[in-house]
Structure 1
């Protein structure tokens, strides 16, 4: 107890010396356990006894860091086993656990209110749960491995136990890691991924198409794993958004996210920006300058258009990836950095390697986990979901009421190939909002008439579908244009415009109706 930090850890407890002695005994007992299951059970039992709580739970992330598993539970002086013990790591219903896990923050609630907090993950209790403590469990590299939870139906100051329980929990997960590395116990059967596990989705991205759900699954594999990621795909597919999602929802979320486009700067300037320089390194270097790699230390560096990086600079980047070392320009000393690299390109790096313009060793270093983003034309109804999102953003920015979408405008968007992908869609929608004088987006508001020849047949078919739809509505309403417009949800002037553009004559519709009636 001579350490200046020890009194601070136990100062808020009623009997600090007795508690410290009990904590040491629990450390010793857990250190002697050589079975993973008993070690998990021992931790929750110790947490419950040290805090006086009726409940203690241990949640652990699996090897892929995409599922949180209830590894052990101590409830009312007994170990408990629950059937549904697995939860996706991006779950939405257990916000308290999610906050602790994703934000790497201690969560202590002295007054737990079931009307404010979703506590479905807690077992049923005759007396409502009143206090809760959630602790993130960390590896030696400060990566989140799980959550230790204690809860009580009594009014307890559980936050006072956070530091000591955190040490005990981190010690336990470290012991679990040692046991796994020496293979003292076989992997449990539950370690295999459940075949019917729902696909995680979201990560701040928009879209529910099969292509995007596949993308979400791949993102879930790398969120909490320190591997380099290579994002490929056509231009405009949202590679920077995906890179930011990996950072914001991963274990480095609280650290810097730095972006650099490798095609935007000449070679010398790009090198000085990435690695920094010392005063006097070159003409005009009148002070030390911190590079992007140092700025992104402990965080993420996103290198867009990596295929355009000069060969000489590729060699220096390779050393960063291999050794984690950076040497600024004008310096003879190197220093270590801990940076996760996410690279992106719309070019085929394998072809660049064959052409000798991209280093093969760097390619394999970057492509530990390649993810290809789907083009927009393969995402189906995501096009409309994205279009509505961009339209709402534009309306809010312009401070105007939200616009409705006509079926014809939606059909036109679905039929257009969008060679510029999401970036082009965003520009098209924003322009349409500016052109729309009323409150309904129509096909004429979208500049899609100059589509490539390969889409002309499709556009003609869409126009034929629209023409048939208008004719059928007019026939049902005996040629009454006002009634037809109301049925279609269009202003009458819009219906007249579409009829004129599609060569539909109301007189012909009425004549056809009379002829059918006589027959």
Structure 2
């Protein structure tokens, strides 16, 4: 066995001992944050190369992400957060496509491009790249090692490929164990994770929104946010960006309905000097401005058909060509699209491209209307009132029970945006520190709006308002609230659970 694997290597017995020691270290490492670093350190030591890199291949999306790098004399950066997709790099693409190793002993005269390697004072002279596989023989990643000296590296492939594959299988196993650990988190931690999104609400409808955001955060999928006007699509898009791995880069917003077709194209893709009359200098487009980050295309349903074709190319190829430019260049941008329109119906009518629709709807999230978010109106109203009062530099305001009752029974056709404007106006009108129904200026809800509600549903709506108000007065203390209401504490806890009132959210909202 040693003759077959190590005949081309110096000191084969010593090499075999070192290789076995590294297998043991990788096998006992139970920390998924250090395991990739151990793997690249092993590859660098065994091959006696200055550089070693480990890439993770996502078979579902085709992405190839750099997850660890060994290069002495440089500060380690967490490559998992950089968001760069390396699948199109020539060397790596060859290894993935042919599922076989590639060794280049003279990079200077090679036809393969290697400019994706780290820039150092001494150029890279030789390189070897091996494919890594899962236990099911599917592609799992790539292990690369490079030297600043011309040297044959092909002989290391037969032993380093199993080592790298073993490391990725261990890493996959550790990652599969994470959901089990998370499921055991206490409720307070679950609420804290929700708070990290910067969103407010504990209704059943919002529970589903939080769940979907959590699913999409660390994936490269395109997100389509659908919902009525005012449901907070931009807020949710910003939450996806801020809580994800691209948070350190730009978040750029473009309303596709705000510009005519020609101007929208130049805003998105940019242009070169002389591209058209008046183009007196180069202009950077929003795709380039959002490189490494997120671009929100709001009101995507209003994008002209000609531009839809160009956007589809960006999604498919990951590259753009500014107006007046002769060549295209790569961009790394996560696209989130938002619309209040029915894009499927527009596809049927021929006003929206079918192929673009399916690319945008890779991961759709339907945002609930405010009327579907039972109980969230009061949480949002208190939050908006607190922010408005803080911006004005005044003390906190109180809410009268009558005002809260009016809010909870109103339909809010303008959704969260309407509620926000309404509350901010009420705070301005409130002179004595208590918001009254007169400050809200709400018209009585038409009878047709509540005709479908049963008596039990209407009574529970009133009970919910009353309980939330009592909890706020007692700053979330359930014992004091039960005493004030004259009920047993267990009775209060049952009603809170039945009505889906989270005390943590109530306390934070006050």
Q: TM-score category by the smaller chain?
A: 0.5 to 0.7
Tell me how far apart the structure 2 counterparts of residues 221 and 30 of structure 1 sit (CA, whole Å): 38
Alignment of 1:419 with 2:446, yes or no, is: no
Tell me how far apart the structure 1 counterparts of residues 365 and 16 of structure 2 sit (CA, whole Å): 45
5+ residue gaps in structure 1?
1-24, 51-60, 64-100, 105-133, 145-173, 470-486, 489-519
The answer to whether the 8 Å contact 2:296/2:337 transfers is yes
Tell me how far apart the structure 1 counterparts of residues 198 and 412 of structure 2 sit (CA, whole Å): 22
Tell me how far apart the structure 2 counterparts of residues 213 and 338 of structure 1 sit (CA, whole Å): 31
Alignment of 1:219 with 2:204, yes or no, is: no
Structure with the larger RCO, 1 or 2 (CA within 8 Å, 6+ apart) = 2
The answer to whether the 8 Å contact 1:219/1:246 transfers is yes
Tell me how far apart the structure 2 counterparts of residues 440 and 227 of structure 1 sit (CA, whole Å): 46
Shift of 1:339: 0.8
Return closer, same or farther for 1:29/1:411 CA change in 2, 3 Å cut-off.
Answer: farther
Tell me how far apart the structure 2 counterparts of residues 46 and 259 of structure 1 sit (CA, whole Å): 37
Tell me how far apart the structure 2 counterparts of residues 298 and 216 of structure 1 sit (CA, whole Å): 24
When normalised by structure 2's length, the TM-score is 0.57
Return closer, same or farther for 1:296/1:371 CA change in 2, 3 Å cut-off.
Answer: same
Determine helix, strand or coil for the equivalent of 2:248.
coil
What is the match of residue 340 of structure 1?
Answer: 334
Determine helix, strand or coil for the equivalent of 1:328.
coil
Alignment of 1:201 with 2:194, yes or no, is: yes
Shift of 1:437: 2.1
Shift of 1:336: 0.9
Shift of 1:447: 2.1
What is the match of residue 102 of structure 2?
Answer: none
The answer to whether the 8 Å contact 2:227/2:367 transfers is yes
Determine helix, strand or coil for the equivalent of 1:230.
strand
Render the CA deviation track for 1:183-229: whole Å, top value 9, x for unaligned.
67697598374495565422111112222122111111111111111
The answer to whether the 8 Å contact 1:229/1:368 transfers is yes
Return closer, same or farther for 1:33/1:289 CA change in 2, 3 Å cut-off.
Answer: same
The answer to whether the 8 Å contact 1:26/1:46 transfers is no
Matches within 5 A, 1:223-242: 223-242=217-236
Return closer, same or farther for 1:190/1:408 CA change in 2, 3 Å cut-off.
Answer: same
What is the match of residue 430 of structure 1?
Answer: 424
Render the CA deviation track for 1:73-101: whole Å, top value 9, x for unaligned.
xxxxxxxxxxxxxxxxxxxxxxxxxxxx9
What is the match of residue 311 of structure 1?
Answer: 305
What is the match of residue 191 of structure 1?
Answer: 176
The answer to whether the 8 Å contact 2:426/2:439 transfers is yes
Alignment of 1:253 with 2:247, yes or no, is: yes
Return closer, same or farther for 1:278/1:350 CA change in 2, 3 Å cut-off.
Answer: same
Tell me how far apart the structure 1 counterparts of residues 404 and 251 of structure 2 sit (CA, whole Å): 36
- Among candidates 18, 23, 33, match of residue 33 of structure 1: 23
The answer to whether the 8 Å contact 1:415/1:458 transfers is no
Tell me how far apart the structure 2 counterparts of residues 326 and 27 of structure 1 sit (CA, whole Å): 50
Alignment of 1:331 with 2:339, yes or no, is: no
Tell me how far apart the structure 2 counterparts of residues 46 and 328 of structure 1 sit (CA, whole Å): 39
Shift of 1:455: 3.1
Tell me how far apart the structure 1 counterparts of residues 200 and 412 of structure 2 sit (CA, whole Å): 17
Tell me how far apart the structure 2 counterparts of residues 441 and 385 of structure 1 sit (CA, whole Å): 15
What is the match of residue 439 of structure 1?
Answer: 433
Determine helix, strand or coil for the equivalent of 2:296.
strand
Tell me how far apart the structure 1 counterparts of residues 20 and 337 of structure 2 sit (CA, whole Å): 43
Return closer, same or farther for 1:444/1:298 CA change in 2, 3 Å cut-off.
Answer: same
Shift of 1:267: 0.7
When normalised by structure 1's length, the TM-score is 0.57
Render the CA deviation track for 1:383-441: whole Å, top value 9, x for unaligned.
11110111011111222221101111111111111111100000110111122221111
Shift of 1:29: 3.9
The answer to whether the 8 Å contact 2:271/2:323 transfers is yes
What is the match of residue 387 of structure 2?
Answer: 393
Shift of 1:182: 3.5
Tell me how far apart the structure 2 counterparts of residues 309 and 411 of structure 1 sit (CA, whole Å): 41
Tell me how far apart the structure 1 counterparts of residues 446 and 277 of structure 2 sit (CA, whole Å): 50
The answer to whether the 8 Å contact 2:83/2:292 transfers is no
Aligned length: 337
What is the match of residue 321 of structure 1?
Answer: 315
Shift of 1:457: 6.3
Tell me how far apart the structure 1 counterparts of residues 17 and 332 of structure 2 sit (CA, whole Å): 32
Alignment of 1:301 with 2:242, yes or no, is: no
Tell me how far apart the structure 1 counterparts of residues 351 and 240 of structure 2 sit (CA, whole Å): 28
Tell me how far apart the structure 2 counterparts of residues 388 and 181 of structure 1 sit (CA, whole Å): 54
Tell me how far apart the structure 2 counterparts of residues 394 and 135 of structure 1 sit (CA, whole Å): 44
Shift of 1:330: 1.5
Return closer, same or farther for 1:30/1:301 CA change in 2, 3 Å cut-off.
Answer: farther
